[in-house]
C-alpha cells in the first residue's frame, strides 16, 4: 500500500501560523468537506444533529486512505500535500496543514471509516479526546466517512459558547455553500435531524449551482464577467443591476478555487457598478480569481478566509474594470423576468470573449451595430473589434425599427426580440457621459442668447454659481455674476430641441445647493454636476419625439459606455426576448 | 350643486368689499383662522365678488351668469387648488402633473357634489410642485371669461413638510412676487405660523374668527335637515365656532361623522385611563397603529373636552358641558371615582403634553400607553411619577 | 329649440368646433358644444377656455332656444348620417337629431352652464387678407419658445397698427419678425401676446381668399371671416424689447444663393454633432468655407462662392436653426449680415424677379465653442 501522507518537517510545522481551526461545528464541517474535496470526492453528504453539537458526519466517495495514511492523518502536522516550505507559498489544496483532523479529534469523540480505492477492506479508527481507542477492519465502499460526536465534550468552556442548534445549523450551511459554489460538479447534501437543508446534485456550471441554491429569480438575473490582465484572470457571475437590492447580499470570492474574504475587492466591484445601481444597493457577486503561483499568499490565517495578494491594487482594478465591462453588454439590461434559460457559464471553460482594457465607445457602437444590423460599422473597420459573433449574428439587415409609445418609451425591434427604452433615462445616460467628457477634454459649445437670462437666486445659490463658474462654462452655461442675488446667463447648452434652459439651470443650482440623494451619491464635483445636469436636462417623459430624434437618441445611447443604465441606478432599457415572447404565447 | 351661503364673517366681508370697491384689495390675501371656520368658503365668496357682473353695494348679486357659475365652482376664472394625496408616480414631472390634475379634478367634482363637508381628513395630503406648476401655467394666461380672476390656494401650510416643498413654495413665490394683472390670490391657513416666511410676507393677512355657537347651531338647523335636534346641539357645542368642525360630528348617512368617531375614541381612552387594571390600559394602547400620529392629535383634542366636562361636573358647576348628553355618565363617574377638579386639571396638562408628542413623530402606541399610565396615576392612584420610569414600563 | 340644417353644414360646423374641445378638463361642460339659435340662423361654439371656435350657419329656425350637447358624439353621428336635411330639436336637457329614418337623442346640459364667450367688437378692429395673415403666421409662429420658464416667449408678439400688423416670435436662440399691410383702423397701436395654438386654429379655419377681421375684446383676441370666429385668451406679461436685439451695426454681409447654400449646410451638418448640430463657417472675399469636426465621427470641409463684403469672419451655428430660417426666408437669394462671432446674425430675403417682396427678418444667435 503506497504511503501518500508525510510527516511535516518541524521547520514547516513552525512556519504554519498556530491557532485553533475548530471553534464551532461549522468549522469542523468546513475542514472535513475540504478534505473530501481534496480526496477527489464527487458526492459529499453531511449530516448533523443538534446543529452539529451532538453529531457531525461527513461522508464522501473520494479516494479514501489506507490504514497507515489513516493513522497518520490523525497525527498533528501530518499532511499528504505539502512536501516542503517552498510549497507553502504556492497554491495549496484545502486541508494542507494536516492539523485539522487531529485538532478535531482532540476535542470530540471521533470515528473515521475509510477505504482506499481499489481496496476491499477498509479501516475504522475510533478516538476519544484525541486518544486512539481502537483500530479495526471495516467493510465499505471507497471513500471516507468521519463522524464527530459530542464536540467539546472535554472542553466545557468552549461548548458554552456555541449558539442554538438553529444558528449552528445555519452556520454549517453557510460553510458548505462557498465550497459548493467553487465545485459545481460535486454533489453536496446537508441533512439536519433527517431534514434536508441543502440538496445539490452535480451542476453543469456555477449558474446552475446558484439556481439550485437560490432559485430562478436570482440565477436568471446574473451576468457573466471576465477580465484578464497578464496572468491574472477574474471571472464569474454578478447580479444584473436591475436585480440588485439594498441590504443583505451574497458575495463569494475565490482564489485558486478556495473561498476567501476581502472587503476591498467587494468595494472595487461596487465601484464598477457606480451609476448603474442606487447607491445603497449591494450587488451579489461570485468571482473567481486565478492568480499565478507566487503572487498570492493563502496561508495568512488558519481559517484561511483571508489571503494576501502581492499586488492587491492590480486585482482591485481588474475587478472594477471587469464589472464595468460586464455592464456594457446588452445582457446587462433589465428583462421582463428571469430568463427561462439562465446564461451559461462554465467556470472551468475558456472565456466567451476577452476583454481588453482599452476598449472604447467606438467598440460599443460597433458591437451594437454588428449585433443589431446596420452594415455601416463593419464597412469601415472590417474588424470585429473584440466581438466574436455568436449564433445568428451574421444575419445583418436593416437598422433596428423604432417606435415611440406613450411619449415616454421607445420600442426597438432587434435581432432577438424587443428592446424597450425609457427615453428620459436613456438621455440621462447620454448627457452624463457627455458632460464628464467635456470636463475632461473641453469642447462644449454654448448657444448664445438673444435675451440673456437674468435670474434672481438665493445667496447660497449665487455662491454656488460663483464656485462652479468654470465648470458651468465647460457645460455650456456662460454665466456672469451681476452683483447681489442676480446672475446673468449669456449662453446655454442645447442638449435637445425641447430644452428649457432656465428651468434646468435653476433646478440644477437648487439641487447642488441643497443636495439630493443623487448628488450625495456622487464621488466628486464633476460627477455631481454631470448627474444633476443629466437629470434636469434630459428629454422628459411625455415629450413627443419625431422619427429622426428617436433614431438619434437610440444611436447616441448605444454610443455611450454603459447604455443599459441611467445615472440613478435604474435601467434605461428592458429586453423582451423572442424566447420570452414565445413562452408567453405558449409557443 | 350650489355652494351653501357664506355664514357669518360679516366684518371681514365688509372690509373686503370696501377695499375692492375702493380699488385697494391686496392682490395676495392670507385668510387665517380655526379649521372649519369657513376660510375656503370665504375665499370663494371673494372670487364671486371679483367675477360678479352686477355687483351690488352689499356684495355679489348671486343671480348673474358669473355668480351662478361661481356658486357652482364652475367659473373658468375661479381656480381652486387644495392639498391632495400624491397619486402613484408616473415617472416624470409632466406625467405626475397630469396625474395630480386628474386627482384634483376628481376631488373638485366631489366638492361640487357635496359642498358642505366636514373639515377633516386623515389622509396624507400635500400641495405638490406639479400642482403649482399647473397654477403657474394657468396664471400666465389672461382671464378666460371674466375681467378678473382668483386663485385660491387652500391649506397653504401643505406647501411645506414634503420633499419637493422648496420647489413648490419657490414656484408659488415666483407668481406671488409679480402677480399677473387682474389676478388675485387667496391663501388659507389654520396655522399661519407654519407657512414659509417668504410666502407669508407677501400676503396681507385677514383673520376669520370662530362664529358664536348659536350661529353654528342655526346654520346646522337650516342646512342640515337630516339631523336630529340633540345631534345638532352636541355638534354645535363641540364645534368651537367652526361649521366645518361641527359637520364632523353629524351623521354621514348611516355612518357616524368622522369627528364623532374620534370623540368616541377619546371617550374610550378616558375610560381606559380610569381602569384600575394595567392590562386593560395596555391593550387599549396597542389598538393604535404604531405609525402616523395624525388621527391621534384630534383624539387628544377631544379627550381634553372630556376632561374639561368631567372637571366641570366634578366641581358641581352648572355651566353647559361640551359633550352634551353625557352629563349622567360624567357625574356618576365623578362620584364613583371620587374625582376632584384639581387632579382633573393636572390631568389636562398630561393630555396637552401627549398632544405635543403626537405632533412630533412619536409612535402612537407609546404615546397612548404613557398617557394612560400618567392619567391613571393622576386620577386613580393620585401619585406623581417620573417620566423615565413609565417609559421603561412601556417598552 | 328647433331648426333644420343640411347634413353637410352641420357636419362641417361640428368638425370646425370639435377641434377646440379639450381632451381633459376640470369643467365637465367643456366637453360639450353650445348650440344657440339667433335671428338668422344657428351658432355652434366650443372651447377649451384657451381657444374658442364659433361657427354661424344660416338656417331656418322654427323655435328659438339653446343647449349644450356632447361634441364628439354629435360629430361621430353626423359623420355617418346620409346626405339630407337634419332636424335638430331639444326637449328639456335632451337634444334630438332626425335625418331620414335615423333618430338620435343625446343628454345635454343647460346653455347657462357654458362659460360666456368673449364679446369681440369686430367693427372696431383691423382687417387683413387671408393670404397675408396666413403668411404672417407661417413665417413667425415656428420660432415660438416651448420653455415654460418664460411664458411670454411661448406666444407670438402681435403688433397691430393703423394699416400694418407685425408678428415677432423667438425662443431666445433665433427670432423671426414679419410685417404685412392691413386695413385702416381707429384702434390705437396694440401689443398682444398670442398663444400659437390659436394661430393654428386660424390656419386651419381660414382661407387665403378670406378677408379676416381681427379685433380685441378685453382679455381676448378674435378672428372672424365668413361666419367662422376664433377667439383666444392672451398671454399676460410684457414681451422683451426685441427692437433692442436686432443688430443695427452689422457691417459684414454675404448674399448667397439659397438652394446651394442650404444644401452645403445640410451636407456638412451630416458630420456635425448630433446634439449641437454645430457647423463652422468662414466668410471671406468671394467665398464661404464650411468646416465641421466632430471627434468621434469625422470631419467635413466644403466651399461655396458667395458675394461677401467686410472683414473675414469665422462663426459657428446650429445648422438646424440656419436651415429652418433659410426655408422660411424662401427667396432665391438670401442676405446674411454679421458683426462678430458672438453676435446675432441677420437673414433677410433678397427679392428677385417675380418674387413677392416681404418685410421679413430673422435673427440667429451663434454657437460658441467654450473651453
Per-residue pLDDT, B379? 77
Mutate to test the interface with C, among B144, B151, B178, B182 (most CBs of C within 10 A): B144
Residue C93 sits in the same domain as residue C167: no
Residue C82 sits in the same domain as residue C186: no
Residue B145 scores a pLDDT above 80: yes
Residue C30 sits in the same domain as residue C94: yes
Yes or no, beta carbons of B91 and A507 under 8 Å apart: no
Task: Give chain A positions within 8 Å (CB) of C296.
Answer: 361-362, 559
Reported as a single tens digit per residue, the pLDDT across B71-112 is 999 999 999 999 888 888 776 667 777 888 888 888 988 888
What distance separates the 2 farthest-apart alpha carbons in chain A?
Answer: 100
Residue C149 sits in the same domain as residue C89: no
Mutate to test the interface with A, among C23, C346, C368, C370 (most CBs of A within 10 A): C370
Residue C30 sits in the same domain as residue C93: yes
Spatial separation of the C-alpha atoms in residues B295 and B291, rounded to whole Å: 10
Per-residue pLDDT, A385? 33
Run of H or E residues at B167 = helix B165-177
Domains by residue range for chain B, with CATH: 10-207 (3.40.50.300), 256-394 (no CATH)
- Spell out the residues 6+ positions from residue A502 whose beta carbon is closer than 8 angstroms to its own: A453, A455, A489, C147, C149, C150
Judge whether A516 is closer than 8 Å to chain B, CB to CB.
Answer: no
As to burial, measured by CB atoms within 10 angstroms (0-12 exposed, 13-18 middle, 19+ buried), residue A43 is middle
Per-residue pLDDT, B265? 82
User: Could you tell me which chain C residue has the CA closest to the CA of A452?
Assistant: C172
Strand partners, A445: C369
pLDDT bracket for residue A2 (50, 70, 90): very low
Residue C193's domain is classified under what CATH number? Answer: 3.10.150.10
Specify the higher pLDDT residue, B275 or C184. Answer: C184
Residue A390 scores a pLDDT above 50: no
Per-residue pLDDT, B167? 66
Classify domain A412-587 at the CATH topology level: Ribosomal Protein S8; Chain: A, domain 1 (3.30.1370)
Yes or no, beta carbons of B144 and C233 under 8 Å apart: yes
Residue C38 sits in the same domain as residue C53: yes
Yes or no, beta carbons of B92 and A540 under 8 Å apart: yes
Alpha helices in C206-318 (DSSP H): 242-245, 258-269
Task: State the Rg of chain C over Cα.
Answer: 25
- The shortest C-alpha distance from C109 to chain B (Å) reads 13
Would strands A187-192 and A43-49 be described as parallel, antiparallel, or unpaired? Answer: parallel
Per-residue pLDDT, A398? 57
Report the 10 Å Cβ neighbour count for A187. Answer: 18
Size of interface B-C (CB pairs under 8 A): 65
Per-residue pLDDT, B292? 58
Q: Is residue C31 part of a domain?
A: yes
Judge whether A514 is closer than 8 Å to chain B, CB to CB.
Answer: yes
User: Could you tell me which chain A residue has the CA closest to the CA of C245?
Assistant: A450
Per-residue pLDDT, B381? 66
**What are the grid coordinates assigned to A51, written together?**
446543529
Residue in C51, C12, C18 with CA at minimum distance from that of residue C34: C18
Yes or no, beta carbons of C278 and A445 under 8 Å apart: yes
Residue A511 scores a pLDDT above 80: yes
Decide: A112 and A74 in contact? Cβ < 8 Å: yes
Yes or no, beta carbons of A552 and C318 under 8 Å apart: no
Task: Look up the pTM and report it.
Answer: 0.68
Size of interface A-C (CB pairs under 8 A): 86
**What are the grid coordinates assigned to B174, written together?**
415666483
- B235-261 per-residue burial string, b: 16 or more CB within 10 A, e: under 16: bbbbbbbbbbbbbbbbeeeeebbbbbe
Reported as a single tens digit per residue, the pLDDT across C120-130 is 998 888 899 99
Per-residue pLDDT, A303? 57
Q: Is residue C370 part of a domain?
A: no
Residue C189 sits in the same domain as residue C250: no
Spatial separation of the C-alpha atoms in residues B375 and A322, rounded to whole Å: 65
Answer with the one of C193, C213, C241 that is the final residue of a domain: C241
Q: Where are the domains of chain A?
A: 6-200, 207-335, 359-399, 412-587
Residue C278 sits in the same domain as residue C177: no
The CB-side HSE value for B136 (13 A sphere, CA atoms) comes to: 24
Reported as a single tens digit per residue, the pLDDT across A537-577 is 999 887 888 888 898 899 889 888 888 888 887 889 888 88
Q: Is residue C168 part of a domain?
A: yes
Yes or no, beta carbons of C24 and B102 under 8 Å apart: yes
Residue C185 sits in the same domain as residue C215: yes
Specify the higher pLDDT residue, A360 or A243. Answer: A243
Per-residue pLDDT, A337? 54
Residue C126 sits in the same domain as residue C237: yes
Report the 10 Å Cβ neighbour count for B279. Answer: 8
Residue C237 sits in the same domain as residue C126: yes
The rounded mean pLDDT for chain B is 81
The rounded mean pLDDT for chain A is 78
User: Could you tell me which chain B residue has the CA closest to the CA of C26?
Assistant: B105
Judge whether C238 is closer than 8 Å to chain B, CB to CB.
Answer: no
pLDDT bracket for residue A1 (50, 70, 90): very low
- The residue-averaged pLDDT of B220-224 equals 84
Judge whether B98 is closer than 8 Å to chain A, CB to CB.
Answer: yes
Specify the higher pLDDT residue, A507 or A372. Answer: A507
Question: With a CB-CB cutoff of 8 Å, which residues 481-510 of chain A face chain B?
Answer: 507, 510
Specify the higher pLDDT residue, A389 or A120. Answer: A120
Residue C209 sits in the same domain as residue C228: yes
Judge whether C148 is closer than 8 Å to chain B, CB to CB.
Answer: yes
Alpha helices in B9-128 (DSSP H): 10-21, 39-51, 65-71, 93-113
Number of domains, chain C:
3
- The shortest C-alpha distance from A422 to chain B (Å) reads 10
Task: Write the Ramachandran bin of A134: left for phi over 0, alpha for psi from -120 to 50, otherwise beta.
Answer: beta
Q: Is residue C369 part of a domain?
A: no
Task: Phi first, then psi: give them for residue C184, nearest 5 degrees.
Answer: -70, 150
Judge whether B101 is closer than 8 Å to chain A, CB to CB.
Answer: no
Residue in C332, C313, C324 with CA at minimum distance from that of residue C256: C332
Architecture of domain A207-335: 2-Layer Sandwich (3.30)
- Spell out the residues 6+ positions from residue C269 whose beta carbon is closer than 8 angstroms to its own: C277, C279, C292, C319, C320, C323
Q: Of all residues in chain A, what percent carry a pLDDT higher than 70? A: 79
Report the 10 Å Cβ neighbour count for B140. Answer: 20
- C159-179 per-residue burial string, b: 16 or more CB within 10 A, e: under 16: bbbeebbbbbbbbbbbbbbbb
Helix, strand and coil content of chain A, in percent to the nearest 5, comes to: 35, 25, 40
- The residue-averaged pLDDT of A395-411 equals 76
Show the low-confidence residues of chain C (pLDDT under 70): 371
Yes or no, beta carbons of C370 and A501 under 8 Å apart: no
Judge whether C248 is closer than 8 Å to chain B, CB to CB.
Answer: no
Residue in A330, A328, A370, A298 with CA at minimum distance from that of residue A560: A328
- The shortest C-alpha distance from B92 to chain C (Å) reads 16
Residue in B72, B158, B96 with CA at minimum distance from that of residue B123: B158
The rounded Cα B108 to chain-centroid distance in angstroms is: 18
Return the CATH class of domain A6-200: alpha beta
Answer with the one of C241, C256, C271 that is the final residue of a domain: C241
Mutate to test the interface with A, among C153, C154, C169, C173 (most CBs of A within 10 A): C173
Among A501-510, B224-233, C176-185, which is the least confidently predicted range? B224-233
pLDDT bracket for residue B382 (50, 70, 90): low
Q: Is residue C301 part of a domain?
A: yes
Q: The domain containing residue C314 runs over which residues? A: 246-364
Q: Report DSSP state, residue A358.
A: T
User: Could you tell me which chain A residue has the CA closest to the CA of C246?
Assistant: A450
Report the 10 Å Cβ neighbour count for C83. Answer: 11
What ipTM, to 2 d.p.?
0.80
Per-residue pLDDT, C131? 92
Amino acid at each position: 500500500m503506497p504511503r501518500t501522507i508525510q510527516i511535516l518537517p518541524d521547520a514547516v510545522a513552525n512556519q504554519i501560523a498556530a491557532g485553533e481551526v475548530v471553534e464551532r461545528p461549522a468549522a469542523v464541517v468546513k475542514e472535513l468537506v475540504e478534505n473530501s474535496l481534496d480526496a477527489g470526492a464527487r458526492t459529499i453528504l453531511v449530516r448533523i444533529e443538534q446543529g452539529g453539537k451532538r453529531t457531525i458526519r461527513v461522508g464522501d466517495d473520494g479516494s479514501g486512505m489506507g490504514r497507515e495514511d489513516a493513522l497518520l492523518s490523525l497525527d498533528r502536522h501530518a499532511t499528504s500535500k505539502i512536501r516542503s516550505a517552498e510549497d507553502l507559498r504556492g497554491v495549496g489544496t484545502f486541508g494542507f496543514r494536516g492539523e485539522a483532523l487531529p485538532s478535531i479529534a482532540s476535542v470530540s469523540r471521533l470515528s473515521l471509516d475509510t477505504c482506499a480505492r481499489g481496496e476491499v477492506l477498509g479501516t475504522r479508527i475510533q478516538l476519544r479526546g484525541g486518544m486512539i481507542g481502537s483500530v479495526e477492519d471495516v467493510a465499505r465502499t471507497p471513500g471516507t466517512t468521519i463522524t464527530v460526536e459530542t464536540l467539546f465534550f472535554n472542553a466545557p468552556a468552549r461548548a458554552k459558547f456555541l449558539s442554538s442548534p438553529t444558528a449552528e445549523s445555519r452556520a454549517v450551511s453557510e460553510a458548505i455553500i462557498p465550497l459548493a459554489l467553487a465545485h459545481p460538479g460535486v454533489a453536496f447534501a446537508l441533512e439536519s435531524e433527517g431534514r434536508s437543508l441543502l440538496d445539490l446534485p452535480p451542476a453543469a456550471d456555477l449558474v446552475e449551482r446558484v439556481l439550485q441554491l437560490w432559485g430562478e429569480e436570482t440565477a436568471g438575473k446574473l451576468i457573466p464577467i471576465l477580465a484578464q490582465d497578464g496572468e491574472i484572470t477574474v471571472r464569474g457571475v454578478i447580479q444584473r443591476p436591475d436585480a440588485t437590492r439594498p441590504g443583505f447580499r451574497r458575495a463569494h470570492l475565490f482564489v485558486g478555487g478556495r473561498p476567501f474574504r476581502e472587503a476591498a475587492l467587494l468595494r472595487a466591484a461596487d465601484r464598477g457598478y457606480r451609476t448603474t445601481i442606487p447607491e445603497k444597493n449591494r450587488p451579489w457577486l461570485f468571482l473567481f480569481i486565478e492568480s499565478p503561483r507566487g503572487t498570492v499568499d493563502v496561508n495568512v490565517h488558519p481559517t484561511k478566509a483571508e489571503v494576501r495578494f502581492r499586488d492587491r491594487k492590480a486585482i482591485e482594478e481588474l475587478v472594477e474594470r471587469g464589472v464595468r465591462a460586464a455592464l456594457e453588454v446588452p445582457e446587462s439590461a433589465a428583462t421582463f423576468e428571469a430568463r427561462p434559460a439562465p446564461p451559461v457559464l462554465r467556470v472551468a471553460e475558456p472565456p466567451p470573449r476577452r476583454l481588453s482594457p482599452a476598449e472604447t465607445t467606438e467598440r460599443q457602437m460597433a458591437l451594437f451595430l454588428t449585433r443589431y444590423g446596420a452594415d455601416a460599422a463593419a464597412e469601415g473597420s472590417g474588424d470585429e473589434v473584440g466581438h466574436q459573433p455568436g449564433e445568428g449574428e451574421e444575419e445583418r439587415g436593416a437598422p433596428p425599427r423604432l417606435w415611440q409609445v406613450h411619449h415616454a418609451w421607445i420600442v426597438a425591434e432587434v435581432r432577438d426580440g424587443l428592446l424597450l427604452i425609457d427615453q428620459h433615462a436613456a438621455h440621462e445616460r447620454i448627457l452624463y457621459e457627455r458632460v464628464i467628457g467635456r470636463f475632461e477634454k473641453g469642447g462644449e459649445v454654448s448657444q448664445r442668447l438673444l435675451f440673456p437670462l437674468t435670474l434672481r437666486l438665493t445667496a447660497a445659490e449665487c455662491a454656488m454659481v460663483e464656485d462652479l463658474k468654470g465648470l458651468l462654462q465647460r457645460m455650456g452655461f456662460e454665466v456672469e455674476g451681476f452683483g447681489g442675488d442676480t446672475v446673468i446667463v449669456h449662453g446655454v447648452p442645447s442638449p435637445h430641441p425641447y430644452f428649457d434652459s432656465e428651468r434646468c439651470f435653476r433646478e440644477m443650482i437648487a439641487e447642488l445647493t441643497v443636495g439630493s440623494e443623487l448628488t450625495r451619491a456622487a464621488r466628486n464635483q464633476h460627477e455631481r454636476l454631470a448627474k444633476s445636469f443629466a437629470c434636469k436636462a434630459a428629454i422628459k417623459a411625455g415629450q413627443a419625439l419625431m422619427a429622426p430624434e428617436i433614431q438619434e437618441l437610440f444611436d447616441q445611447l448605444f454610443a455611450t459606455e454603459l447604455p443599459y443604465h441611467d445615472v440613478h441606478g435604474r435601467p434605461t432599457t428592458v429586453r423582451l426576448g423572442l424566447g420570452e415572447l414565445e413562452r408567453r404565447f405558449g409557443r | 350643486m350650489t355652494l351653501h351661503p357664506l355664514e357669518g364673517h360679516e366684518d371681514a366681508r365688509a372690509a373686503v368689499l370696501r377695499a375692492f370697491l375702493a380699488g385697494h384689495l391686496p392682490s395676495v390675501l392670507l385668510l387665517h383662522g380655526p379649521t372649519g371656520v369657513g376660510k375656503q368658503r370665504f375665499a370663494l365668496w371673494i372670487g364671486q365678488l371679483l367675477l360678479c357682473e352686477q355687483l351690488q353695494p352689499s356684495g355679489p348679486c348671486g343671480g348673474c351668469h358669473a355668480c351662478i357659475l361661481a356658486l357652482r365652482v364652475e367659473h373658468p376664472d375661479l381656480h381652486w387648488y387644495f392639498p391632495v394625496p400624491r397619486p402613484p408616480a408616473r415617472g416624470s414631472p409632466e406625467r405626475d402633473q397630469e396625474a395630480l390634475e386628474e386627482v384634483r379634478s376628481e376631488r373638485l367634482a366631489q366638492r361640487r357634489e357635496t359642498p358642505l363637508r366636514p373639515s377633516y381628513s386623515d389622509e396624507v395630503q400635500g400641495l405638490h410642485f406639479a400642482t403649482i406648476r399647473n397654477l403657474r401655467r394657468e396664471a400666465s394666461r389672461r382671464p378666460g371669461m371674466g375681467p378678473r380672476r382668483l386663485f385660491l390656494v387652500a391649506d397653504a401650510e401643505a406647501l411645506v413638510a414634503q420633499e419637493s416643498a422648496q420647489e413648490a413654495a419657490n414656484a408659488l413665490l415666483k407668481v406671488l412676487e409679480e402677480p399677473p394683472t387682474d389676478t388675485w390670490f387667496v391663501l388659507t391657513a389654520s396655522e399661519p405660523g407654519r407657512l414659509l416666511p417668504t410666502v407669508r410676507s407677501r400676503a396681507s393677512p385677514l383673520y376669520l374668527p370662530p362664529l358664536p355657537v348659536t350661529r353654528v347651531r342655526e346654520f346646522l338647523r337650516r342646512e342640515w335637515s337630516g339631523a336630529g335636534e340633540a345631534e345638532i346641539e352636541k355638534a354645535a357645542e363641540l364645534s368651537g365656532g367652526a361649521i366645518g368642525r361641527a359637520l364632523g360630528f353629524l351623521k354621514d348617512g348611516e355612518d357616524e361623522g368622522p369627528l364623532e368617531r374620534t370623540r368616541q375614541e377619546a371617550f374610550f381612552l378616558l375610560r381606559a385611563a380610569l381602569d384600575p387594571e394595567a392590562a386593560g390600559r395596555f391593550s387599549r394602547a396597542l389598538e393604535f397603529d404604531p405609525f402616523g400620529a395624525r388621527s391621534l392629535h384630534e383624539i387628544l383634542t377631544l379627550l381634553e373636552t372630556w376632561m374639561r366636562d368631567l372637571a366641570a361636573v366634578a366641581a358641581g358647576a352648572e355651566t353647559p358641558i361640551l359633550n352634551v348628553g353625557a352629563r349622567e355618565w360624567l357625574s356618576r363617574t365623578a362620584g364613583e371615582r371620587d374625582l376632584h377638579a384639581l387632579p382633573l386639571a393636572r390631568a389636562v396638562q398630561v393630555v396637552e403634553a401627549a398632544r405635543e408628542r403626537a405632533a412630533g413623530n412619536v409612535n402612537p402606541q407609546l404615546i397612548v400607553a404613557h398617557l394612560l399610565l400618567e392619567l391613571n396615576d393622576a386620577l386613580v392612584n393620585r401619585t406623581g411619577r417620573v417620566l423615565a420610569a413609565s417609559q421603561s414600563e412601556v417598552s | 329649440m328647433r331648426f333644420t340644417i343640411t347634413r353637410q353644414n352641420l357636419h362641417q360646423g361640428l368638425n370646425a368646433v370639435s377641434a377646440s374641445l379639450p381632451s381633459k378638463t376640470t369643467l365637465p361642460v367643456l366637453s360639450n358644444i353650445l348650440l344657440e339659435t339667433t335671428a338668422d340662423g344657428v351658432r355652434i361654439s366650443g372651447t377649451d377656455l384657451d381657444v374658442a371656435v364659433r361657427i354661424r350657419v344660416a338656417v331656418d329656425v322654427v323655435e328659438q332656444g339653446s343647449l349644450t350637447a356632447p361634441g364628439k358624439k354629435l360629430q361621430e353621428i353626423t359623420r355617418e348620417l346620409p346626405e339630407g336635411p337634419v332636424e335638430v330639436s331639444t326637449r328639456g336637457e335632451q337634444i334630438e337629431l332626425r335625418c331620414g329614418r335615423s333618430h338620435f337623442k343625446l343628454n345635454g346640459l343647460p346653455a347657462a352652464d357654458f362659460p360666456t364667450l368673449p364679446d369681440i367688437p369686430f367693427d372696431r378692429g383691423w382687417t387683413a387678407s387671408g393670404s397675408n395673415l396666413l403668411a404672417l403666421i407661417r413665417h413667425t409662429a415656428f420660432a415660438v419658445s416651448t420653455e415654460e420658464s418664460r411664458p411670454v416667449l411661448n406666444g407670438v408678439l402681435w403688433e397691430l397698427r393703423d394699416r400694418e400688423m407685425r408678428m415677432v416670435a423667438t425662443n431666445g436662440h433665433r427670432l423671426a419678425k414679419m410685417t404685412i399691410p392691413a386695413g385702416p383702423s381707429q384702434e390705437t397701436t396694440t401689443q398682444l401676446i398670442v398663444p400659437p395654438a390659436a394661430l393654428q386654429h386660424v390656419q386651419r379655419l381660414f382661407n387665403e381668399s378670406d378677408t379676416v377681421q381681427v379685433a380685441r375684446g378685453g382679455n381676448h383676441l378674435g378672428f372672424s371671416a365668413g361666419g367662422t370666429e376664433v377667439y383666444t385668451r392672451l398671454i399676460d406679461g410684457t414681451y422683451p424689447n426685441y427692437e433692442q436685439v436686432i443688430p443695427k451695426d452689422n457691417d459684414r454681409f454675404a448674399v448667397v444663393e439659397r438652394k446651394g447654400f442650404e444644401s452645403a449646410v445640410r451636407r456638412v451638418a451630416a458630420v456635425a454633432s448630433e446634439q449641437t448640430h454645430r457647423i463652422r463657417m468662414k466668410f471671406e472675399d468671394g467665398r464661404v468655407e464650411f468646416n465641421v469636426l466632430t471627434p468621434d465621427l469625422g470631419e467635413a470641409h466644403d466651399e461655396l462662392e458667395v458675394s461677401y463684403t467686410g472683414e473675414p469672419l469665422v462663426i459657428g451655428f446650429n445648422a438646424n436653426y440656419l436651415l429652418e430660417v433659410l426655408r422660411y426666408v424662401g427667396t432665391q437669394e438670401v442676405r446674411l449680415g454679421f458683426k462678430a462671432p458672438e453676435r446675432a446674425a441677420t437673414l433677410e430675403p433678397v427679392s428677385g424677379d417675380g418674387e413677392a417682396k416681404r418685410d421679413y427678418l430673422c435673427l440667429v444667435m451663434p454657437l460658441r465653442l467654450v473651453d
